Structure 1
Amino acid sequence: MTALFRYTVFPVLPGLDQTEIPEGLSRARSIMAEPDYMDADSDELIRPKKMINPVKTSRNHQDLHRELLMNQKRGLAPQNKPELQKVMERRKRDQVFKAQKEEQEAHMKRSDLEVELMKRRETLEQLEQEQHKIEEEQENTPEFVKMKSNLRRTKQEMDGQERAT
């Protein structure tokens, strides 16, 4: 195989006469010319240049790429979480930490009087809850049960008055 005008041309096989090859085929191979745009000494044409990717040339991209390569060499896998999710988790963690810290400071600064008032408030709240439960139970009981308890109470009061006299 030989190259003619930068194109490969197949040689004539040995044992075949030139008369056996069709005229159009042999003539086409010898007539092919090099295209005009392939000339190296043509100054009129503007040579294409590779486009510059602004992302790859940016300093942030280069730093990130370098960091990823270093982590890969160390064997550290990059986290799959997006940056926004990381920021939100960090913020939430900071808020929880701050709330716990404020709560601890509030417990430390309480005086004996405040502690006693807190205990009393808790006991009052418990009493109120018990009263609400009793009221709810009374509301749920049927009417005839309420009337029966009222009759018993009045009967006991009358018996108590008769004994007193």
Structure 2
Amino acid sequence: MSYARVWVVFGGMLILASAALYMASAILPSWGVSQENNRTYGLWKYCTRGEDCWKIPLSCASLSADSLQKCMNLIIVRMFLILSCIFSGIAALIVIKIILKGGNLKTVEGLRMLSSASFTFGVIAFPIGIKWTLDHPSTKLSTAAILAIVGNGVNFIGALIVFITRKPDIAPSDSTVGVVSGG
């Protein structure tokens, strides 16, 4: 196994880890914790400390003008975080393909594009999510927001490793496909 292939796989594994962090960040109802009313706020629901949870509406149709901007920010965060999950998840599948069957330069280029798109979506999502969280009264960031930040950092490192690996030979070393013997 060439060093370039090892680096591509390592970078891809970091992207896989970022996919898991993004998913946990999107699912957990703990982007913020309010000291004032004992609530935790997530992207899909909010909960009281007594574990009673309520779903946050999927649309902003019935909200007043005052609440509309907060709701739009929440929808933007949801959308871009879901896109980050999808793109980093597909990138992880490409890494699994590279590990099991090898690949070619187009495979690595696809991995590069997916990882950079996932990182870009994360860069858009987490600052808006942090702003949305801190707009609630006396709220501090909590687990899910920190997971989004860490996930984006891990994704950046993985994407950087994949990008700086030049012309990787990622075909399996025991592959004889396409070899013509002289006779």
The answer to whether the superposition gives a TM-score over 0.5 is no
Q: TM-score, normalised by structure 1?
A: 0.23
Larger Rg: 1
Higher strand share: 2
Higher helix share: 1
Q: TM-score, normalised by structure 2?
A: 0.21
